[in-house]
Amino acid sequence: MTFEEGIQPAYIFKGEHFLLGAAMFDGKAVPGCHVNLPLRTMNRHGLIAGATGTGKTKTLQFLAEGLSDASVPVMMMDIKGDLSGIGAAGTLNEKIAERCKLLGIDYKPSAYPIEFLTLSDQPGSRLRSTVSEFGPVLFSKILGLNDTQEGIVSMIFKYCDDKQLPLLDLKDMIRVLQFMNNEGKDEVKQMYGNISTQSTGTILRKIIELQQQKADVFFGEKSFEVEDLMRISDDGRGMLSIVRVADLQDRPKLFSTFMLQLLAEIYATLPEAGDLDKPKLVLFIDEAHLIFQDATEALLQQLETVIKLIRSKGVGIFFITQNPNDIPQAVLSQLGLKIQHALRAFTAKDRDDIRKVAQNYPETAFYKTEDLITQLGIGEAFVTLLNEKGIPTPLVHTMVCPPRSRMDILTDTEIASIVANSNIAKKYNQVIDTKSAYELLNEKLAEAGESKEIVESKSTSKKEEKGTLETILSNPVTKQVGRTAASIITRTLLGVLGLGGTSRSRKKGWF
């Protein structure tokens, strides 16, 4: 079997698809031997891996363009800050012209419809979610709590529901914990039994740890709606939502928290889709190792579960990282499309890692995968994917098409202009300070304090009145006047009743 006979038929699809690049053999592009991507299996997730400078970001950019052209909305985690250029048209240069000639394609510069989203104070529409929307189970897994502590968190959510105390941000959660340890301890004990102060203290410390990674900017209102990630532009292309998370590289806990909540929200919102001709939404997660870095075992399990199930909602997730070994095996096994750029072997450990990576790909008679993976040029990659029947395609060395948008970042002025013209920025960037558990508990305690002061004031007033009366009555003159008046009144009454005789004739009292 020739190379063309083994590769070309495997990458021709009946359904909607777009060109990824051209197959290569013996270091040269094979004319007419195209490598296409079927949209039908793009919800089976994917991986883009390779060492720094091998072309991962440009491959991501090109995939996002192809999906947008097919009217598929895309969300991209821009953790290095180098994806914004997709919003401006590219420029033809000598290198691009040479590559397009080898690929046998025309270069058509194009800008794509983009929306900037942010988790911080950077320009863009703010992404937020309330503590209540996380729910007790997910919130507990983020904090890495044990079963006992998770039960206490569930009880806190139940108490706040019963008492109509909205949990919107982290300060609400902290205030409720403080209340249960102090002023509300007896009330909670009566409703739910004893609660260990040691457990509540641990939960409190975990929340403060999350705060130290500036998670406060994420928890709150207005909550971001999944529908706003799935918009189509006026020209029929899918909207590209770029989440600016460049300032989260040193805060992996917050990044994994955001990603888990986002995936859970998408899964909960979207209905079951079954087999679609193309996905409803595709997410690209750059520097994906940050999601799994420092994540608890419970958090990893939750991520794995969501990733396995979310494809049935018509959602595809692509992880971009340097080494496939950065991704847990349970997740890696779920990734249908794999695009492997070059890896570098500088140490014995690097060589061992490359050997393991090569074993993740289908065996091929056309390449020595383990050797060639270190020799791939910039913008070249090994590719394998699931065809329309769900069967893995043969491994193929591919020269990837160049992006048609700008292969550089936008200026601050260009970004500001896009944000200013955004249809959703005003919706999510307004400041909302809804009265929640923090304010309601403080008001409740303030009212209780005022009531106590009133009661104490009345009690003090009565004591003062009693003290004055006692002073008057203790006066000798007052006592004598009192005795005289009492004697006169007694005699008068007894006389009227005919009982005013001597002591012998007096009757005994009732007691």
pLDDT exceeds cutoff 80 at 234: yes
My answer on whether omega of the bond before 222 falls inside 30° of 0, hence cis, is yes
pLDDT at 97: 95
What's the CATH number of domain 7-128+221-429, 3.40.50.300, 3.30.460.10, 3.50.50.60, 3.90.1570.10? Answer: 3.40.50.300
CA 276 vs CA 44, 280, 309, 385: distances in Å: 11, 8, 15, 17
pLDDT score at 496:
39
Q: Per-residue pLDDT tens for 133-166?
A: 888 988 888 888 888 999 999 999 999 998 899 9
Distance of CA 398 to the CA centre of its chain: 35
Average pLDDT of the chain to the nearest whole number: 84
CA–CA dist 403, 396 (Å, integer): 20
Give the pLDDT of residue 493: 37
| Sheet bearing 17-25, strands edge to edge | 28-38, 17-25, 396-400, 380-384, 337-340, 46-49, 315-321, 281-285, 74-78, 240-244, 114-118, 125-126
Q: Which residue has the higher pLDDT, 485 or 169?
A: 169
Note the pLDDT of residue 218: 83
pLDDT digits (tens, 9 = 90+) for 454-507: 555 555 555 555 454 454 445 544 444 444 444 434 344 334 334 444 333 333
* Residue 447 scores a pLDDT above 80: no
Give, in order, the Cα–Cα distances in Å from 53 to each of 5, 56, 321, 379: 33, 8, 12, 9
The residues with which 66 forms a beta bridge, in sequence order, are: none
Say if residue 450's pLDDT is above 70: no
Question: Distance between CA atoms of 256 and 291, rounded to whole angstroms?
Answer: 4
Residues 340/381, Cβ–Cβ less than 8 Å? yes
- For 130, left (φ over 0), alpha (ψ -120 to 50), or beta? beta
Mean of the pLDDT values across residues 85-108?
94
Averaged pLDDT for residues 240-261: 79
Q: Tell me the domain boundaries of the chain.
A: 7-128+221-429, 131-217+435-443
Give 341-376 pLDDT, tens digit per residue.
Answer: 999 888 888 888 899 889 889 889 999 999 999 999
Per-residue pLDDT tens over the stretch 319-340: 999 989 888 888 888 899 999 9
Categorize the per-residue pLDDT at 116 as very low, low, confident or very high, splitting at 50, 70 and 90: very high
